[in-house]
Structure 1
Amino acid sequence: MRGQSHVVGIVLLLGITTVALGGLTTVVGGIIDGQTATADERRVATALDREFRPVERTGPNRVDVRFSEGRLTTVDRELRVLNASGVQREVDIGGLVYTSGANRVSFVSGAVVRGKPGKAWLVRGPPVTVTRDNDTVLVGAVTLGERGVAVGGSGGVTARLRTNVTHDRTALPRADYRVAIETATPDALARHLRERDLTTARRDIDGDGVPSVVASVEGTQELQLVVHRTNTEVAGG
């Protein structure tokens, strides 16, 4: 009997050890998956920040966005210029959003944002500036051009962005202007604009569920609207 008890004890111990090792494997696997997803988020943000710069480029270009798993999709976004009379210009800017589990990166009108709504931060701000010496607001609107496209998978994915960038400038007469940029991460964008002495508010202008950050500067200004058309094609590698 004593020998049988000894054997039973060993079996139980082995069973407990196996369960413990299984739990440890699950925890370690979760940590590795989380680290991989975070590395992917960082890699995507870096590619969009360093290589996808339509404001600074003209003509054809190609950017490869690589990640181990996840999905890069195009989204509908608008930029609007408003004054007391209403919307003066509306630009279909579009955007790119990378998601993988809890990780997220977006590109909207030149801005690169990491993190989900409510916990996001800017990697690069949008090209919106105020020139004090001649009371001018310079607004850059980066348009994507591509719609309804998604590239995703696992085991290593490459999304290729082929662009052909052109620029178009329009001067609007002096008025009390506001600039509304549609984004799913308004807090990060609003913080950036407030740091540049712009007053911000939040509105869902077209009722589509995606808010716009509405930025304004006190007093009448001349507004220079520069539309950077990327004419982007998004494809899988």
Structure 2
Amino acid sequence: MSRSRRRIGDHADAECESRSTRRAQSHVVGIALLLGITAVSLAGLTATVGTVVESNTAGVDAERVAADLDDALAPVESTGYHRGVVSYTDGRLHTVERTVRVLNASGEVRAVDAGGVVWEHGDHRVAFVAGAVVRGPPGNAVMDADPPLATAPGTVVVGVAALGDATFAYAGGGRVPLSTRTSHERTAHSDDEWRVAVETTTPRPWHAYFESHGATTTTRDFDGDGTDSVVAAFPGERTLHLVLHRLDLEAGR
């Protein structure tokens, strides 16, 4: 065999070996890319599943907290000593300052420091204010338990639950006992054009509730603290009965 033929053969063998090497490298790179994409996909799936599970858990917590607050505080049903427990997996349970005002055609007749209890976890929220339980964040909340309000021709009965001087905040999951000593005070006010204003960060369900009882509603920040009140005006002159449910709330694990 001539030298030229041997060189041609050697060159062909080298080219074949180079192609095989490139193919092997391509396979390795492809597998590496596939493994990387799979890892990223699994990480994203794990994060998505974790978020869904956490959201579902918080939603279950919200329903439980709403029921627990309604049972534990029970401003109308209880008199004297009463005790309940609020349970949740995670979140923060704390008190807030809220005022309920009674107004007539001349202006403010009475302001009640009602206070409130709020549980929050992410986008989930439950609030007890003035005897009502509202579930959901601002803009997407619903009335879970109605406030103690009654209307009849020529009469409106407004019940307000006042929590006293209770101040607390609990973070994380657990069971928080709530104890109350409840008394009731009733005062009657003569015929007038009556309005009731409830301070709240979730105004939508309050608007809907008052309007379902024949009132017209507006919104106003009475004290300039950034928290609006839903103002319900009842048509015509009526006798107003204000029932103040004093709960004197205490909390402790």
The structure 1 segments of at least 4 consecutive aligned residues displaced by more than 6 Å after TM superposition are none
Partner of 1:137: 156
Alignment of structure 1 residues 1-237 onto 2, 5 Å: 1=21, 2-132=23-153, 135-153=154-172, 156-235=173-252, 237=253
CA deviation map 1:77-119 (0-9, x unaligned):
1111111221111111000111101111111001110111111
CA deviation map 1:201-222 (0-9, x unaligned):
1111111111111112222111
2: CA distance between counterparts of 1:50 and 1:64? 8
Q: Answer yes or no: is the 8 Å Cα contact 2:81–2:179 preserved in 1.
A: yes
Q: When you count helix as a share of all residues, which structure comes out higher?
A: 2
1: CA distance between counterparts of 2:48 and 2:185? 53
Percent of aligned positions that are identical:
48
Q: TM-score, normalised to structure 1's length? A: 0.93
Flag the structure with larger Rg: 2
2: CA distance between counterparts of 1:205 and 1:16? 57
Q: Answer yes or no: is the 8 Å Cα contact 1:74–1:146 preserved in 2.
A: no
Greater Cα offset, 183-192 or 7-16 = 7-16
2: CA distance between counterparts of 1:19 and 1:219? 66
Greater Cα offset, 219-228 or 12-21 = 12-21
Q: When you count strand as a share of all residues, which structure comes out higher?
A: 1
CA deviation map 1:23-44 (0-9, x unaligned):
1111111111111111111111
Deviation, structure 1 residue 4: 4.0
CA deviation map 1:103-142 (0-9, x unaligned):
111110011101111111111121122122xx21101010
Q: TM-score, normalised to structure 2's length? A: 0.87
Q: Which runs of 5+ in 1 are unaligned?
A: none
Secondary structure at 1:56 match in 2: coil
Deviation, structure 1 residue 5: 3.5
Q: Which runs of 5+ in 2 are unaligned?
A: 1-20
